[in-house]
Amino acid sequence: MHAMIKSAVLSVAVAAATLTSIAPATAGDYYRRHHHGDGVALGAAGLAAGVLLGSALASRPRYVEEGPVYVEPDYVEPVPVYQPRARVYVEDPGYVQPVRELRPWSPAWRRYCSQRYRSFDPGTGTFIGYDGREHFCTVG
């Protein structure tokens, strides 16, 4: 309701300022010759309209967002207790335990190298390493 009253007062002030300026503009030479003090009255009316308009615009409600507020928690979080995980050993059925006494070019040596290196070439006994070179397969 308060905003509606302000809008009505503002509308009346703008209408009054407009109507008071229209009358002298249409009066012709007669009005200019006989009324010398009307300029001061029109200036006062314009000033009043400006004051009303400015106060109406300045008194609008503004939304101001408040900053965040820190609230201390009610509890203290307990310190986590380190519990080491149990080690689980699983035997891989495809893994061949290297035997220290495997001799190169034996069937056991070829089987071991084939399972250990994907790029193993049984004809040359070499595999391609991460450096891109060929290396001879050795056990141990």
**pLDDT tens for each residue of 25-77:** 555 555 556 556 666 777 777 778 877 777 777 776 777 778 888 877 777 77
**Which pTM was predicted?**
0.31
pLDDT tens digits for 82-123? 777 788 777 776 766 655 678 889 898 999 999 999 999 999
Of the candidates 59, 60, 56, 53, the one whose C-alpha atom is nearest the C-alpha of residue 16 is: 53
pLDDT > 70? residue 3: no
Q: Are 125 and 113 in contact (CB under 8 A)?
A: yes
Give the H or E element holding residue 19. helix 2-26
pLDDT > 90? residue 126: yes
User: What would the two tokens of residue 27 be?
Assistant: 């009066």
Q: Are 128 and 119 in contact (CB under 8 A)?
A: yes
How far apart are alpha carbons 140 and 136 in whole angstroms? 13
